[in-house]
Amino acid sequence: MADDTKAMHLRKALDDNDRKHPLLAIGAVNALAAHVAAEAGFDALWVSGLEVSAASGLPDANVLGPRDLSDVVASLGRVTDLPVIVDIDNAGGSGRTAERFAYDLMRAGAAAVCVEDSAYPKCNSFAVHRAQTLADRDLLCEQVGRIRKVVGDGLVVVARTEALIAGEDMATAIARAEAYAEAGADAVLIHSKDAAGEQARAIGRAWSHGVPLVSVPTAFPDLSAAELGEAGFRLCIYANQLSRAALAGMRAAARQFRRGGSFRSTVAGSLAEVGDLMRVGEPEALSCL
């Protein structure tokens, strides 16, 4: 499927008012995760700044560049046709860096990018060891406009505001999101860390602009996708759960090995087969193990 077709399909699905259930995207840091996501029936993949940073051994602090993300997109595209939405953080904090991110990621086969208004250098939304600060609203508007100019309709552009994360009130968050929609974003994401999920519901009630709403419910996992759909969200992004599951699974296996001195059968229950691993990159592969 040509890539601009992917963007077109994703835009259409986001804009489809007849959908009852939100689209479901899940973070995939490599083809293994993409394979799992496709098996499980997700609608889209998310390339997460936090997940790719962790996989690269880097802090989630604007240290990733377009090539780090492009490589991930290329890997995902080899095993599934699912549209890929790329978290480009604040896109390097300038208009010119935003242009490169957008061009490179469209090239790599992404269907969408998500750009946010954290101040450069950014800090993970849930980090408490550094302060959260916002960039000028106009900077993100400029970045959205420049991205649009570079990619045309070739990418869905999601604009994300960190206003609530940084302690601003709902009116400010809504005003920022509206400005980004006016600047050309196809969808908006008002990020929240309210664990109760009340803030998420409030965002849904407060949003009256036509462009679709996106949610990343990392902080409020008890709200189900269906509930988020009822609250007004058209796309739910599960940003880092697969990496967290992988981390937990690898830790458990390593612990068992250290205890028993082998990965023998009793351990093997928690390991996928060698053939399963081979089939991620070559579906017709058969293993003698």
Query: Please, which of residues 60-89 interact with a second copy by CB under 8 A?
Result: 60-63, 65-68, 71, 74-79
The CA–CA distances, whole Å, from 18 to 12, 13, 22, 211, 233 equal: 11, 10, 11, 15, 13
> Using the rule CB under 8 A, which residue among 32, 113, 147, 174 binds a second copy?
32
- Locate 257 and state its tokens: 């090995």
Q: Which of 3, 16, 18, 60 is catalytic?
A: 60
Q: If binding is defined by CB under 8 A, does position 41 make contact with a second copy?
A: yes
Dist. CA 138–CA 9, nearest whole Å: 29
Residue 138 as a binder of a second copy (CB under 8 A): the answer is no
Q: Residue 126 interacts with a second copy (CB under 8 A)?
A: yes
Q: Does 171 bind a second copy (CB under 8 A)?
A: no
Q: Among residues 64 and 211, whose Cβ is nearest to a second copy?
A: 64
Q: How far apart are CA 102 and CA 70, in angstroms?
A: 10
Q: Taking a C-beta distance cutoff of 8 angstroms, is the pair 132, 125 a contact?
A: yes
Residue 268 neighbours by CB under 8 Å, 6+ apart: none
Q: Are 191 and 162 in contact (CB under 8 A)?
A: yes
Q: Which is nearer to a second copy, 49 or 211 (CB)?
A: 49
Specify whether 60 is catalytic. Answer: yes
Residue with tokens 């970045």, as numbered in its chain: 143
The answer to whether residue 135 forms part of the interface with a second copy (CB under 8 A) is no
Which residue matches tokens 């059968």?
A: 265
Task: Answer yes or no whether residue 133 interacts with a second copy by CB under 8 A.
Answer: no
Rg of the chain in Å (alpha carbons): 19
Q: How far apart are the first and last CA of the chain?
A: 35
Residue selected from 13, 59, 142, 206 as contacting a second copy according to rule CB under 8 A: 59
Q: How far apart are CA 28 and CA 5, in angstroms?
A: 21
| Total chain residues near a second copy (CB under 8 A) | 116
Q: Which of 17, 20, 129, 210 binds a second copy (CB under 8 A)?
A: 129
Residues 10-29 that bind a second copy (CB under 8 A): 26, 29
* Out of 131, 138, 167, 287, the residue judged to bind a second copy by CB under 8 A: 287
DSSP state of 184: T
Judged by CB under 8 A, does residue 145 bind a second copy? no
Q: Which of residues 174-233 bind a second copy (CB under 8 A)?
A: 193, 195, 217-219, 221-226
**CB of residue 174 to a second copy, shortest distance in Å:** 23
The catalytic residue positions are 60
